[in-house]
């Protein structure tokens, strides 16, 4: 189900600055070599993530769900000098691809890849984050949210992808992913610890500020 008319989505892409040659290469390789390439952030969302990062100028960023590294490279754009982006990916097979692109970008000192289940690894990260991006399996969104919120500073931000789930959040669908996202959206909306805005960019991004 398309949320935004194809022609409008196309128009938005046409009026968004071009990604770097490296990001274009990374996206192309994702489509050629990886399963479920549609998970990659891509031009529009990638640039949005970079802009948010430039605005916040974070010292520490946390990402859950690296996939092929597109969003990590975008999020790293606004990092302060000596800032670190910790990114967690479950799939060990993605490691060579991710590390190759971190190296090509010259970001070995600022992007730290953690391979494993975010639910196990998050409690072990002893850091305070200015910005976090949640983009892993949808059934665990509420669990990630709780673990991440603890680690984000007051006034810090959390971005959460796919919160419209191709429009299924307002359908009769009762599959586990749709329920996971609906439950998460309701939880955030009722959470007095944060303020939030649901952006209809691509598949929906929840922008959350810890208060
Ligand atoms: C939608 S993709 C991420 C896309 C990426 N953020 C981007 O924008 O290009 C979701 C990723 O989350 C990973 N993932 C799923 N469950 C996970 C878990 N429990 N811990 C860490 N990563 C997980 C998947 O292997 C997949 O690579």
Structure confidence by residue, pLDDT tens digits, 140-178: 999 999 999 999 999 999 999 999 999 999 999 999 999
Give per-residue pLDDT as tens, 117-133: 999 999 999 999 999 99
- Positive or negative CA dihedral for 97, 115, 206, 153? negative
What is the C-alpha to C-alpha distance for residues 83 and 60, in angstroms, rounded to an integer?
Answer: 6
The ranges of the chain with pLDDT < 70 are 1
135 within ligand 1 shell (Cβ under 6 A): yes
The whole-number pLDDT of residue 177 equals 98
The tally of CA atoms less than 13 A away on the side-chain side of residue 188 is 27
137 within ligand 1 shell (Cβ under 6 A): yes
We find that the CATH architecture of domain 6-210 is: 3-Layer(aba) Sandwich (3.40)
Task: Quote the ligand 1 centre to 117 CA distance (angstroms).
Answer: 10
The whole-number pLDDT of residue 125 equals 97
Cut 0.85: pTM above it: yes
Name residues whose C-beta falls within 8 Å of residue 82's C-beta, 6 or more positions apart in sequence: 59, 110
203 within ligand 1 shell (Cβ under 6 A): no
130 within ligand 1 shell (Cβ under 6 A): no
């Amino acid at each position: 189900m398309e949320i935004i008319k194809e022609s409008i989505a196309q128009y938005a892409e046409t009026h968004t600055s071009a990604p770097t040659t490296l990001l274009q290469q990374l996206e192309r390789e994702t489509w050629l070599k990886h399963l479920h390439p549609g998970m990659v952030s891509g031009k529009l969302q990638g640039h949005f993530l970079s802009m948010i990062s430039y605005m916040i100028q974070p010292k520490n960023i946390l990402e859950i769900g690296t996939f092929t590294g597109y969003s990590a490279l975008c999020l790293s754009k606004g990092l302060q000098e000596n800032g670190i982006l910790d990114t967690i990916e479950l799939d060990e097979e993605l490691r060579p691809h991710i590390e190759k692109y971190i190296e090509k970008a010259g970001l070995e000192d600022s992007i730290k890849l953690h391979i494993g289940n975010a639910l196990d690894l998050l409690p072990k990260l002893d850091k305070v984050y200015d910005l976090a991006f949640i983009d892993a399996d949808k059934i665990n969104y509420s669990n990630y949210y709780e673990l991440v919120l603890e680690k984000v500073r007051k006034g810090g931000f959390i971005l959460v992808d796919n919160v419209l789930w191709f429009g299924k959040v307002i359908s009769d669908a009762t599959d586990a992913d749709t329920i996971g996202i609906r439950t998460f959206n309701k939880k955030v909306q009722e959470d007095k610890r944060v303020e939030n805005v649901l952006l209809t960019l691509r598949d929906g991004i929840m922008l959350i500020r810890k208060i």
